[in-house]
């Protein structure tokens, strides 16, 4: 089956070379029993590829099940995957088969595999290596013949470095890697997807399809789409339902798009092999906060010089602070372009103040920003994540990492 035929069969829209390569890899590996690891940002369409692999394989008549590992509580994940015996824990009133037993001869898709607890990762590694598993509360070894396809939007090598994911399991899962490109990496597909979604919602809600005027089309393609295809679909549905005028202007479209995620503003280049993009956005905000703190310090010292008549040494120190300010924010890191043009410093009047020892630790600044966002939105993680410009899942992981109480 050709790539174009697969697109038509599974409803995939787009013609970028990266997307075609991912589909072609899935097509080639489908006829084998190799384990596949699918990576890509949340909302990019990773869930379609395990179905392609299963339907084009010899297991297509067997069972297929998708498991969201992040949605199952840690205390029950082993029971869900491997089953349990009667009386093995409180509430286990009867024996139960796990997914690996039920799907014997078929395919299991483990979405968000990075969320698995370390002990469960050990059990999964045994299944992948020998096809053996043991029910919770049992000592009997059972066999299963299951094809595993896993997916993650987390940088797994980075998770390995933090001790949150087993390296041996990563290499066992990553037998064949498939990377799904983010929507902003295939801009030519954005309008194709929009028109398809607009047509679908027009049929669903019995109304004319929305259309974008030229300035709105430019805004749509310039937007960064951190939520990828899922976010684009949601925005299209909102426009279809809420806007009575079906020709959408740029001004109308702006109401549905956060203002800080257009490609015209300074942005950090996302390299899938580097750290999580959402965490890089937080780092960007931290650098801005550090620049503000150093500027405040510079103004304070200038005020002291003006009032106390300090000599050339003090002025030299102020010039040094000015250079440090520029270095902190203007020096581009690898694969990044961040440029600011700070104006000349103005002397500020000295007011009574307390001397507070400021920390320049990026992690502390990041922690402080997260705390402020949570307090501002009264513990609502969804709104706090939106304020920080990160996903709710990333925010939850940061809360756990820093031990914050919400």
Domain count, the chain: 4
pLDDT at position 153: 93
**36-72 pLDDT tens trace:** 999 999 999 999 999 999 999 999 999 999 999 999 9
Phi/psi of residue 159, nearest 5 degrees: -65, -35
Q: Is 363 or 22 the better-scoring residue by pLDDT?
A: 22
Q: Inform me whether the pLDDT recorded for 330 exceeds 70.
A: no
To 5 degrees, how large is the angle CA 365–CA 369–CA 375?
140
CATH code of residue 367: 1.10.10.60
Same domain? 224 vs 300? no
The string of DSSP codes covering 135-158 is -BT---EEE---EEEEEESS-HHH
Is-contact 137 23, C-beta < 8 A?
A: no
Does 264 reside within a domain? no
User: What letter would DSSP give residue 108?
Assistant: E
Please give the average per-residue pLDDT across 144-151, as a whole number. Answer: 97
Question: What is the pLDDT averaged over residues 269-277?
Answer: 43
Same domain, 225 and 209: yes
**Percent of the chain at pLDDT above 90?**
61
Residue 343 predicted with pLDDT over 70: no
Residues 162 and 273 reside in one and the same domain: no
Does residue 113 share a domain with residue 168?
yes
33 within a domain of the structure (yes/no): yes
260 within domain boundaries: no
117 and 62 part of one domain? yes
Q: How confident is the model at residue 303 (pLDDT cuts 50, 70, 90)?
A: low
Whether the pLDDT of residue 381 is over 50: the answer is yes
Q: What is the DSSP track for 218-255?
A: HHHHHB--TTHHHHHHHHHHHHHHH-SSSEE-HHHHHT
Residue 62 inside a domain? The answer is: yes
Parallel, antiparallel or unpaired: strands 36-39 and 147-152 = parallel
Q: Which residues contact 138 (CB under 8 A, 6 or more apart)?
A: 84, 85, 88
* CA 21 from centroid of its chain's CA atoms: 22
pLDDT digits (tens, 9 = 90+) for 113-126: 999 999 999 999 99
Write the CB contacts of 221 (distance below 8 Å, at least 6 apart in sequence).
187, 190, 191
Whether residue 232 is found in the same domain as residue 380: no
Contact 134, 142 (CB under 8 A): yes
- 398 within some domain: yes
Alpha-carbon gap, residue 393 to 201, rounded angstroms: 28
Residue 263 resides in a domain: no
Average pLDDT for residues 195-212, to the nearest whole number?
A: 96
> The domain containing residue 216 runs over which residues?
184-254
The confidence score (pLDDT) of residue 192 equals: 95
């Amino acid at each position: 089956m050709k790539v174009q035929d697969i697109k038509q069969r599974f409803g995939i829209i787009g013609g970028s070379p990266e997307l075609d390569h991912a589909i072609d890899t899935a097509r080639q590996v489908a006829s084998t029993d190799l384990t596949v690891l699918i990576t890509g940002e949340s909302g990019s369409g990773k869930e379609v590829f395990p179905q392609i692999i299963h339907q084009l394989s010899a297991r297509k008549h067997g069972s297929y099940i998708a498991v969201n590992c992040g949605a199952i509580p840690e205390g029950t994940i082993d029971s869900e995957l491997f089953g349990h015996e009667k009386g093995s824990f409180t509430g286990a009133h009867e024996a139960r088969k796990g997914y690996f037993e039920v799907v014997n001869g078929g395919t299991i898709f483990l979405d968000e595999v990075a969320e698995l607890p370390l002990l469960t990762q050990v059990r999964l590694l045994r299944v992948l290596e020998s096809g053996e598993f043991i029910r919770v509360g049992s000592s009997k070894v059972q066999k299963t013949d299951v094809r595993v396809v896993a997916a993650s939007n987390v940088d797994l090598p980075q998770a390995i470095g933090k001790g949150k994911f087993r390296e041996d399991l990563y290499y066992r899962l990553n037998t064949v890697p498939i990377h799904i490109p983010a929507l902003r990496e295939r801009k030519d597909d954005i309008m194709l997807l929009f028109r398809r979604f607009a047509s679908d919602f027009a049929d669903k809600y019995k109304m004319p399809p929305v259309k974008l005027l030229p300035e709105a089309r430019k805004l749509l393609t310039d937007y960064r789409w951190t939520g990828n295809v899922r976010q684009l679909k949601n925005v299209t549905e909102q426009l279809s339902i809420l806007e009575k005028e079906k020709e959408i202007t740029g001004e109308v479209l702006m109401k549905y798009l956060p203002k800080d995620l257009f490609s015209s503003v300074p942005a950090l280049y996302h390299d899938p092999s580097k750290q999580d993009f959402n965490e890089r956005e937080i780092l960007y905000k931290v650098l801005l906060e550090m620049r503000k703190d150093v500027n405040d310090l510079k103004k304070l010292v200038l005020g002291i010089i003006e009032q106390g008549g300090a000599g050339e040494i003090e002025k030299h120190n102020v010039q040094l602070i000015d250079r440090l300010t520029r270095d902190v924010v203007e020096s581009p890191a690898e694969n990044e372009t961040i440029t600011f043009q700070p104006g000349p410093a103005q002397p500020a009047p000295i007011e009574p103040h307390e001397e507070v020892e400021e920390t320049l630790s990026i992690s502390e600044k990041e922690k402080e920003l997260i705390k402020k966002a949570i307090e501002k939105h009264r513990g609502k993680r969804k709104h706090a994540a939106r304020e920080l410009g990160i996903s709710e899942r990333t925010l939850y992981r940061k809360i756990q990492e820093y031990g914050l109480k919400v």
